[in-house]
Amino acid sequence: MKLTIIGDSTSGSKAGQCGDNTIGWAEYANEHIDTTKFTSYNKCVVGWGIRDFFNRKGNILDSTISKLNENDILLACFGTLERSPLSRTDFGGFGARGSLPGKDDRYEIVYDEHYKVEFKVYTFGEYLRQLAQKAKDRGVKLYFLSQIPRNTWEDGHHKRTYSIEYAGIMKDISDETGVGFLDINEILSVLLEELGQTKAQDFYSPKDKSHTTPEGAKTYAKIILKELKKHSPRKVLLITLQIKKIT
């Protein structure tokens, strides 16, 4: 069976892809599952928000889901890039990535200046809703995961900002569609608060506040998979995903 992870670089960048000594937690998922029964696949893409999995050439989302079988597991980790502009040409060649705020079904027709094409851009919540339907049609067990926390602090305490809003949208669409949800942003924020600001620096690149070091990624992978087993709303992971003991 397959455990497939989609999201942006904060979850799934390859070693060194987003700077020296950086890597995403999804690269370590196989270390914490029973690989005689499951194989994890990191299908995250650097610089892609949720809309890009729907809109970009090649239709990676449909291609990824088509390779999954009934009861395979798909983890969707989004939120970090959703506030990006709807159209731009000046950000590392990635082009536009943002979705509309909110969870209703509205959309805007946006001309992407980088790719010279029009896109229909929905709200973050509507993209989640459409993703849930695609997974349901395929019989795939889908779980929304909020973004990992950024390395942001105020007066010695870890500070969450817009991530709270996007985690809330995920929770609402999860309740609406019956998809599993794990607020790893909150769970890992609590961890960082307990560890303190000084130790937390070992978990993140010194060059930005979003990308993890191998130490941070390994720690987050352990916690995320452990929490998925423990808190899965539909308890599917308790039955199917054999997590190795985490100490």
User: pLDDT tens digit string along 196-220?
Assistant: 999 999 999 999 999 999 999 999 9
Across 224-246, b (16+ Cβ under 10 Å) vs e yields bbbbbbeebeeeebeebbebeee
Helix spans in the chain (H): 9-12, 50-55, 60-66, 124-138, 163-177, 184-195, 197-200, 214-231, 236-240
Amino acid identity, residue 12? G
Model pLDDT, residue 233: 44
Model pLDDT, residue 85: 87
- Indicate the pLDDT class of residue 229, thresholds 50, 70 and 90: confident
- Indicate the pLDDT class of residue 77, thresholds 50, 70 and 90: very high
User: Residue 26: helix, strand or coil by DSSP?
Assistant: helix
Output the CA angle 24-178-160, nearest 5 degrees. 45
Instruction: Answer whether residue 37 shows pLDDT above 70.
Output: yes
Model pLDDT, residue 92: 58
Model pLDDT, residue 235: 43
197/177 Cα distance (integer angstroms): 37
Greater confidence, 157 or 229? Answer: 157
Residue 159 near residue 215, CB atoms below 8 Å? no
* Mean pLDDT, residues 107-122: 88
Model pLDDT, residue 247: 43
* Mean pLDDT, residues 147-176: 97
Cβ-based neighbours of 126, under 8 Å, separated by 6 or more: 103, 104, 105, 106, 107
Percent of all residues in the chain with a pLDDT value above 70, rounded to a whole number: 90
Output the CA angle 25-57-2, nearest 5 degrees. 40
Residue 75, strand partner residues: 5, 143
pTM of the full predicted structure? 0.91
Locate 49 and state its tokens: 């928000």
